[in-house]
């Protein structure tokens, strides 16, 4: 009987092979499986079949990317940066850690990915949420839905005393005697009209900040006196205006005297700052 690999034609029959038993053209010194003609140095390695097809251990059959994880664990065996030992990198569209439960997008789990969600770390902020005004948050991820300055007059709630009416804000012109604080200074402007010696006298503005005006509709010789509530005379003028900017904020009495008839009118005046 022929004894293989001893270099002797034991049975004197050359057809009985002593080496290269699988007849693939490679003897045992080169062939890592001399019983399988599909395994030899001339064959291309077939990955993931558990066989060293090309008889070259450096040609990987598994863990092709050499990251230490075989195909059973590695969800991308062609990329060494993807395996169960890697930390998930959000928003790159890759399952870096080979764990589908580790989210790559929609990190807050509200049903909206980063392309739609303006805060993917807060499930209460997304396009499906109703905007909550005055909280400083773009709840609905829509910048056109105002969070503050709802009336669009250029003033937020901190400055605007009526954020639902664009005609009421610190730049609005105060309309006297209408019961509305148009300019958000905390007071409604009062303009008072009186009769003095049958002549119409209009006093405005009230409250006043810098100047009180006395509008006389006719020929009248008069003076104007400003008193404190305790009756102390503070200042007097014969002009049709009085500068009150230097006086402290508070309540005062304004008296207008007809110098010919000694008739007078008195108006309660507020000076504000």
Residue 89 is assigned to a structural domain of this protein: no
Residue 196 is assigned to a structural domain of this protein: yes
Q: What is the pLDDT of residue 39?
A: 94
Cα separation of 203 and 216, whole Å?
9
Q: What is the pLDDT of residue 20?
A: 86
- 171: helix, strand or coil: coil
Residue 257 is assigned to a structural domain of this protein: yes
Total structural domains within the chain = 1
Residue 217 is assigned to a structural domain of this protein: yes
Q: What's the CATH number where 218 sits?
A: 2.60.40.10
Residue position matching structure tokens 């909206």: 112
- By residue count, the chain amounts to 273
Residue 244 is assigned to a structural domain of this protein: yes
Residue 216 is assigned to a structural domain of this protein: yes
* Domain, as residue range, for 231: 192-271
Cα separation of 139 and 202, whole Å?
52
Residue 263 is assigned to a structural domain of this protein: yes
From its phi and psi, is residue 207 left (phi > 0), alpha (psi between -120 and 50) or beta? beta
Q: What is the pLDDT of residue 13?
A: 65
Cα dist from 120 to 28, 44, 132, 140, 143, whole Å = 62, 48, 18, 12, 16
Number of C-beta neighbours around residue 233 at 10 A:
10
Residue 42 is assigned to a structural domain of this protein: no
Cα dist from 29 to 25, 46, 85, 243, whole Å = 11, 22, 40, 116
| pLDDT tens across the length of the chain (273 residues) | 877 877 776 778 677 777 888 899 999 899 999 899 999 999 999 999 999 999 999 999 999 999 999 999 999 999 999 999 999 999 999 999 999 999 999 999 999 999 999 999 999 999 999 999 999 999 999 999 999 999 999 999 999 999 999 999 999 988 877 878 888 877 777 777 888 888 999 999 888 999 999 999 999 999 999 999 999 999 999 999 999 999 999 999 999 999 999 999 899 999 988
């Amino acid at each position: 009987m022929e004894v293989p690999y001893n270099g002797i034609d034991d049975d004197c029959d050359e057809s009985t092979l002593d080496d290269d038993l699988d007849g693939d053209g490679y003897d045992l010194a080169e062939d890592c499986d001399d019983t399988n003609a599909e395994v030899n140095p001339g064959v291309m390695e077939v990955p993931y079949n558990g066989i060293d097809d090309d008889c070259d251990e450096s040609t990987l059959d598994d863990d092709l990317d050499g990251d230490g994880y075989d195909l059973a664990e590695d969800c991308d065996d062609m990329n060494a940066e993807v395996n169960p030992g890697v930390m998930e990198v959000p928003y790159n569209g890759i399952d870096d850690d080979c764990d589908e439960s580790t989210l790559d997008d929609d990190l807050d789990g509200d049903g909206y990915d980063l392309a739609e969600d303006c805060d993917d770390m807060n499930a209460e902020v997304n396009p499906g949420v109703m905007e909550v005004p005055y909280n400083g948050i773009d709840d609905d991820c829509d910048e056109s839905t105002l969070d503050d300055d709802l009336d669009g007059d250029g003033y937020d709630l901190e400055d605007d005393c009526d954020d639902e009416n664009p005609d009421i804000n610190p730049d609005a012109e105060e309309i006297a005697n209408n019961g509305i604080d148009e300019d958000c200074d905390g007071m409604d402007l009062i303009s008072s009209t009186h009769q003095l010696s049958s002549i119409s006298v209009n006093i405005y503005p009230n409250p006043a900040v810098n100047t009180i005006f006395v509008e006389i509709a006719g020929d009248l010789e008069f003076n104007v006196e400003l008193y404190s509530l305790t009756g102390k005379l503070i200042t007097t003028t014969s002009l049709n205006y009085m500068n009150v900017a230097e006086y402290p904020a508070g309540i005062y009495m304004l008296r207008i005297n007809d110098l010919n008839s000694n008739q007078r009118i008195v108006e309660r005046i507020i000076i504000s700052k």
